[in-house]
Each structure stands twice: as C-alpha cells, then as structure tokens.
Amino acid sequence: MSAPTETQVVFVGSGINSLVGAALLAVRGKRVLVLERNDRLGGCIRTEELFPGYRHEVFSSWHPLFVGSPGYAELKSELEQAGLEVLCGDYSTGLVGPDGRGLALRQDMADAARRLDALSPGDGQALQDMAARMFGEDAALTFGLLGKNPYSWDLLKLLYSEWRKRGLDGMTAFAAGALENFRRWSERTLRSDAARALIAPWTLHSGLGPDDAGSALIGKLTFAAVVSGGMPVIKGGGSRLVEALARVIENRGGQLLTNAQVDRVLVEGQGRRARAVGVQLADDGRVRARDAVVCNVTPQQLYGQLLPDAPPPARERAQAYRYGRGCMQLHFALNAPPAWTEPELVKVPLVHLTESLEQVCASVTEANNGLLPSRPTLAIGQPVAVDPSRAPEGGWILWIQMQEMPARLKGDAAGQIDTPADGRWNEAVREAYADRVQARLERVMPGLAERIVGRRAYSPADLEALNCNLVGGDPYSGICSPDQFFWLRPFASGGGARGHRTPVAGLYHIGASTHPGPGLGAGSGTLVAREIARK
C-alpha cells in the first residue's frame, strides 16, 4: 500500500503514544496516517515466538499504566470490539533474595501490609499509610502533575486550588517530598532491610536509582499502584494491543504503513510564521498534513534530522539531552514452571531478586561507571502466571529484565568477563553475562537448567538496533532526573519549543522523551490528540 498524498494528521513512528493518539483522533473523525520505518508496528511493544509455541515480549511486558490511562478509558469499548482482552491475576509482585527466601504479594494493599508486618512489625502499617496518602491527600496534585499538560490553564488552576488547601508551606513540603531520594525516605520510614529491598527495585522502572533525586516519589507511586491495581497483561501478547489499536484506526478511515521512512518534516514559512505542512519520505514521496504532524522520536532525531532548520537554541538543547543506563533482556522457554525455593512465588507476575537496597544502589553505581554489575537486580517476569496462552500446555516463560546495564563497557565489576577495548557490546559479552544471570536464578530456582527449552538474550546494543529511540539501550528514552522531567522534559524552552509544542506551528513532539515520560500509559499521545482535536 502506498502513502496517500494528503491527510489531516500524520504520525511519525508507531509506538503506543502514536497509536493511541491516532486512534483517539480517528474516533473523533480525523483522517490520520501512521508511518513506521520498521517492518512492524508497535515501537516497544513486540511479541515474538522465540521458540515454537512460546510467545515472548521482547521489550515491555506489563500494562498497568495503559489499563489505568485516560486513553484506554476512552477507547476501551472500541478496543474490545477489535478483539482486545486484558487479563489480571490475583498476585501483583514480590521479592526473593539469593538465599531463596521470598515474599509474594497479592493485588490487595491490606493483605500486602499484613504479610509485610509478619516480617517486620510496623512496616505494613507504614506501607498502608504511604499508599493512603499517595491515593488520597496527594492524589489530585500527583496525578494532575503527571496527567495534565504542564503549560495548560488546567494545571495552573490545579496548582492554585492545591495552594488554597495546603498553603505555601504545604506546597513546599510536597515539592521536597517529590525531590527526595528513595534511600533517605526508606531509612526514615521503614524499619527492616526486607521492606526497603521490596520497594527499592521499583525505582529502576523509570530509569532512576534509589540514590537519585525524585526516586522516592517514583518508587512509592509505582509500587503502590502495582499492589493496588495488579500487573495486567494482554491476552496472547502485547502485539494484540497493537493489532487492536490498528483496527480501530483503520475502521475509522485511518491508515498505517510500515517500511515508511520519513526523512524530514515539510515546513512552509519562516520564523514565527513557520508551519508544518507534511512529511518527505525516503522514497521521494510526500504527504501533506492539513492539521498537524506528530513525531514520536527522540529530541536529536526531531531537531537534528527531521527538522534540520530548527532554531539554534532548540538544536543545542536537543543535543544536550541525555540518556540513561542500558537495559538487557533475557528470555527463557521452560518445559515446566520453575521450582522456586519459595513455592508461592510461582503465582506472581513480577518478582525482583536482590540482596538489599544497598545492593541495588551498588549495581546502579557499577553500571553508571561502565561496569557489568557483579550482582544485578533481576526483574523476573512470569507472564504465563496470568496468561497461560503464552506457552504450550505445561510450559512456562521467564522474562528477565536488567535495568542496571552500562551502555558502553569499561569492564566487569566481578573481574570475570573480558570486555572489548572499543566498549561495544558483542555476542561473547552478552552470552557470558546471560550465564551469570542464569547462575543467579539457579539459586532461587533449583534445577532450572534441566527445564530450559531455549534461551535468548538481548544486550543494550541489540535493543537499540531494534528500536532507534532506545539510545544506548535506554528503555526510557532519556534520564528522568529533575532537569529532564515534567516542565523540563525533554528540555527547558528553547527556540520556541515548549512541552509537546515545537518552534514550528502544527508540529508536535510525543513519546517517552516528552512529558509525562516513559511507560505504556500513552500520556503524551493522549494529551496531544486532545489538543489537536480542540483545534
């Protein structure tokens, strides 16, 4: 299928923000076109049958942010008609140490508090108090900051309302808490090492570490949301969500094209009169966009490639934008569920393996310094615990994510793996590190090796090769530090760029590199779709 010569809104890239944004506009009657450079849609949602009968999620795997998002709420009935089915089990998350002792948590905050109190009296109540404040007193401000356009009147009204309720001291206290690091909060609030180790790995799921500014808010919010709302998955794999969104778009008259490389954005006029009017394709084709062009790319791609004549301040700030640590994925197909030393953990969708809060901090520091961590934090996903259709009858899948990987290699913290002089990941390093991870898993899953049908590893370099937005293998498309978050994501105003708006009228920037940041909540796509629809 060839690209049309004209439409109303063009989306460059087909990640979840593009697909949800395009679907929302299509439902509102807009003619939309989604252009994807790769041979498949979905961005960081990619389900593959790595081994016969086993459907693995190569990138992301869990969908709590999407299921709780405004975009899903609006599209839910259309998606269900398109065949989407969301599944959620009774359990949410858990922790296991290398000694095999673990804690499994149900999707129930009160039950989680009781289980934690059994380990450390008082920590369960602290957990409940934290969640009550997060989803009670602070809910409007926290979720308003993350869910609204940071440059909108709606946000100003929210801030004014909260100032009236809290006063200046209350607003200042909220800001201080939002900037606090997780280690400091946990040492002040939690009594046991086990409780700190339980929550600390959740700071990694936004690319931060427990010692980073802002990690207390992110860690607490993510953990509390998962325990309260569970870890939903898409039946049959995340690609079914991509297929359902594509059907919604097509059923409403939109189009989606793969293998469609966009070389640049077409602009008419200069200075303040500059306006995006379409895109130039690599095959010399052009598509006119009457209403808007929406780019789901990194800042460097937008201002360095697609918009080469952008004002110098915007180009300079885009070049200064920084990416975080790399990520590594390790996938196991098993002929039977693993024999956990803590049997209840076989029911848990996502279990973290770490020794302690201190070990998570140490692994982050090692990776930040270019070293392969000696004892990495493992996010152990078990999608079959929620969706048995992912594997043959009796089979099992382990989805292992490591978020403390160096993008460029300078050595091995354990002194056991030789790293190349050029600092690049290669197959030898990747597989040697996968062996280290498998040995770490064997300590909590005795006999794992005998159950393995197949193993597939993806290094940070492999992940970037699959998706160019994952620079250096950073799954979050940029560090979520305070200088690159909220009003400042992707960067402070430069050359007319502000939030999702660019220096060129009718050209919008969405994706993980923009507010409200990474994840599968489709926040930026939803916000921009609403703005375009209003116009």
Confidence of residue 487 (pLDDT cuts 50, 70, 90): confident
Average pLDDT for residues 331-336, to the nearest whole number? 98
List of domains in the chain: 6-42+238-321+478-534 (3.50.50.60), 108-229 (no CATH), 325-466 (no CATH)
Average pLDDT for residues 497-509, to the nearest whole number? 93
pLDDT of residue 272: 83
pLDDT of residue 1: 66
Cβ(165)–Cβ(141) under 8 Å? Answer: no
pLDDT of residue 499: 87
Is the pTM higher than 0.75? The answer reads: yes
Q: Which two tokens stand for residue 426?
A: 């290669």
The span from the CA of 206 to the CA of 477, in Å, is: 10
Tell me the pLDDT tens digit for each residue of 146-200: 888 888 899 999 999 999 999 999 999 999 999 999 999 999 999 999 999 999 9
The span from the CA of 13 to the CA of 496, in Å, is: 23
Whether residue 22 has pLDDT greater than 80: yes
Q: What is the 3-state secondary structure (H, E, C) of 407-451?
A: CCCCEECCCCCCCCCCCCCCHHHHHHHHHHHHHHHHCCCCCHHHH
Confidence of residue 492 (pLDDT cuts 50, 70, 90): confident
Residue linked to tokens 């990495």:
376
pLDDT of residue 379: 98
Tell me the pLDDT tens digit for each residue of 83-112: 999 999 999 999 999 999 999 999 999 999
Whether residue 2 has pLDDT greater than 80: no
Q: Are strands 286-296 and 275-281 parallel, antiparallel or unpaired?
A: antiparallel
Tell me the pLDDT tens digit for each residue of 223-259: 999 999 999 999 999 999 999 999 999 999 999 999 9
Q: What is the 3-state secondary structure (H, E, C) of 26-92?
A: HHCCCCEEEECCCCCCCCCCCEEEEECCEEEECCCCCCHHHHCCHHHHHHHHHHHHCCCCEECCCEE
